[in-house]
Amino acid sequence: MSLSPDLFRNNRLKFFDRIPENSAVVLFAGSSRKMSQDSEYRFLPDRNFYYLTGISTENARLIMVRNGDIRDCFLFMPPKDETAERWHGKRMTFAEASRLSGIEEKDILPIGDFEDKLYFVSRDLLLDLCYDGTSISDENASFVKSHDGIKDISSVLTSLRMVKSEEEIEAIRKAAKLTEDALSDMKEMLVAGSCENDCYAALEYGMAKRGSLIPAFSTITAIDGNAFYLHHSDPEGPEGPVFREGSFIQIDVGGRYDGYCADISRVYFIGRGDPQTEKRREALLGLSRKLRAEAFAYIKPGITFKGLNEHMKDLLGKWLVENELCAADADMAEETKKYYWHNTGHHLGLDVHDISDREAPFEAGNCLAIEPGVYIPQWDIGFRIEDDVLVTGSGCELLSSGIDTPESVYIG
């Protein structure tokens, strides 16, 4: 990990400032989910727990106490156990957890001490218990069920996570870089006869060999008509569509770096189609490039996703009329819905669709994935090109490459 303990220490300090007086917040890393009777999915810790600790250890727990002027933080970890580690892999030492999280080693305790400490802060100190209402862990659900009158503190964590620090921004930038490097490797598969699974496998391998073992989301590789299924995450083999002269592929992929996500979409045209196909592809690519440029120019502090979506649809409405896809006097709100199927973007961070208040105006430090997409079934083509951006004090800047030139889109 390249993230410093100062990042997590500062996250806790900011959180402490917004915890209610005389309260104790309890968070859980969670545990692995069963994939089958005898195996589990690769573990990813609860994102708010990770945000405050930097710890990715199963079953770890955190209690943060604000009691008058006292602010205490207790991390509970599985202790070293030679027999357990022989079967399930090595465990982090408490000293290692301290170096990673910035929590003093004296405040890192065995899991077995958790219930006693919880009893002490809630019953002896009479502190109010708080929990994370966004957590999906079974441990959190059991905790909420067994304690009456506890308070949901998740809105505070959401507001904090929406504004990224320099270290977080750099992690997203590196996630985008490794994702685009994987895309570059995958281009070898963009030849006649290749299928969706060929591209999918190349992308997954390209991210994994660069350290991203858990993608930000299910990789999408959709050839031709499958691009009209926005989340086509089950790639088909040779029995499905394969590349031929005039095919296109929609890619949507994201790696992780130190837990932070990228989200990048690309479209590639394989060779040249017939004259009508080429005219339509060029027209739609031109529209995509215009929408992207307008979106990047439009984003700045104070703008909302609602305003951004409306701006994109205004531009699309004019384009639809110019390309005779609707009449000038048509109900543009209804017409644009036929072709603009999803929102222009979303927040990005520890989750690919990072927790956020989507109604809140943008502010400096927000990281966004911007993906205007237009899909025209009667033209047999539709796609999105997506890049990641940082909202700055006066506008936005790209965190990914932003490449969308015809030279980068046409293959062969």
pLDDT digits (tens, 9 = 90+) for 171-227: 999 999 999 999 999 999 999 999 999 999 999 999 999 999 999 999 999 999 999
Q: Which of 356, 350, 345 is nearest to 388 (CA)?
A: 345
Q: Please report, rounded to a whole number, the percentage of residues in the chain having pLDDT higher than 70.
A: 100
pLDDT of 412 reads 81
The kind and range of the H/E element at 295 are helix 275-298
Closest CA to 353 of 214, 234, 254, 222: 254
C-alpha span between 17 and 35 (Å, rounded)? 40
Distance CA 390, CA 301 (A): 11
Count of helices and strands (H, E) across the chain? 13, 20
Residues 24, 128 contacting (CB under 8 angstroms) = yes
Mean pLDDT of 77-100: 95
Torsion of CA 282, 288, 290, 296, to 10 degrees: -150
All domains of the chain, ordered by start, with CATH?
A: 5-162 (3.40.350.10), 166-411 (3.90.230.10)
* % residues pLDDT > 90 (the chain): 98
CB within 8 Å of 388: residues ≥ 6 apart: 172, 176, 262, 263, 264, 348, 367, 368, 369, 370, 398, 399, 400
The tally of CA atoms less than 13 A away on the side-chain side of residue 349 is 24
Global pTM reads: 0.96
Q: How far apart are the first and last CA of the chain?
A: 39
Q: E strands within 7-144?
A: 23-28, 34-36, 39-40, 61-67, 70-77, 108-110, 128-131
Rounded CA-CA distance 50/100 in Å is 11
Distance CA 298, CA 396 (A): 9
How is the beta sheet containing 23-28 ordered, strand by strand? Answer: 108-110, 70-77, 61-67, 23-28, 128-131, 151-152
Q: Which residue has the higher pLDDT, 135 or 1?
A: 135
Mean pLDDT of all residues in 309-324:
97
- Give the CA angle between residues 263, 100, 119 to the nearest 5°: 105
What number is the average pLDDT over the span 134-151? 95
127-140: average pLDDT: 96
d(CA 161, CA 164): 6
Q: What confidence score (pLDDT) does residue 403 get?
A: 96
pLDDT of residue 23: 96
Question: Which of these ranges, 235-239, 269-273, 317-321, 394-398, has the smallest mean pLDDT?
Answer: 269-273
**Count of CA atoms in the C-beta half-sphere (13 A) of 9:** 12
Burial 289-298 (b: 16+ CB within 10 A, else e): bebbebbbeb
Query: Is pLDDT above 80 for 1?
Result: no
pLDDT band at 359 (very low <50, low <70, confident <90, very high): very high
Question: What's the rounded Cα separation, in Å, for the pair 385 and 266?
Answer: 5
pLDDT score recorded for residue 44: 96
